[in-house]
Amino acid sequence: MENLPNCPQCNSEYTYEDRGLFVCPECGHEWSGDEVSSEFTVKDANGNTLRNGDDITIIKDLKIKGSSATIKVGTKIKNIKLVESSDDHNIDCRLPKIGSVKITPKFVKKS
């Protein structure tokens, strides 16, 4: 099966190709292949490009919403996953004793 891009307007994964254009059946948006060429990148606080599987270090104490837990400065996190998000929490990771969390890249540096 072909890997078609998600819709740039509604992020639907159910796109299809028709006469050289990509079409989204959910919102009706049509676009050409050149519009999709922009690659998703995430940069840390120092401007380094992050990739899936990288190790990072927290540079600021972070409170976890809905919990009394805090991620302390200097906490090292291994094997991150980058996700496109409507808010700015593009790093998905798992922390011992806390669980899965999403973190904003401006609060981390690449290890």
- Residues 34, 69 share a domain: no
Residue 2 pLDDT more than 50?
yes
Contact 93, 80 (CB under 8 A): yes
Domains of the chain: total: 2
Q: How far apart are CA 83 and CA 77, in angstroms?
A: 16
The domain spanning residue 61 has which CATH number?
Answer: 2.30.30.40
Categorize the per-residue pLDDT at 93 as very low, low, confident or very high, splitting at 50, 70 and 90: very high
Residue 91's Cα: distance from chain center in Å? Answer: 5
- Residues 29, 53 share a domain: no
Categorize the per-residue pLDDT at 11 as very low, low, confident or very high, splitting at 50, 70 and 90: confident
Question: What tens digit of pLDDT does each residue of 27-82 get?
Answer: 898 988 765 545 678 999 999 999 989 999 999 999 999 889 999 999 999 999 99
Around Cβ 77, how many Cβ atoms within 10 Å?
A: 20
pLDDT at 20: 85
Taking residues 71-97, report their average pLDDT. 92
pLDDT at 62: 95
- Residues 59, 103 share a domain: yes
The domain spanning residue 27 has which CATH number?
Answer: 2.20.25.10
4 Cβ contact partners less than 8 Å away, ≥ 6 residues apart: 15, 16, 17, 22
Range of the domain at 92: 42-110
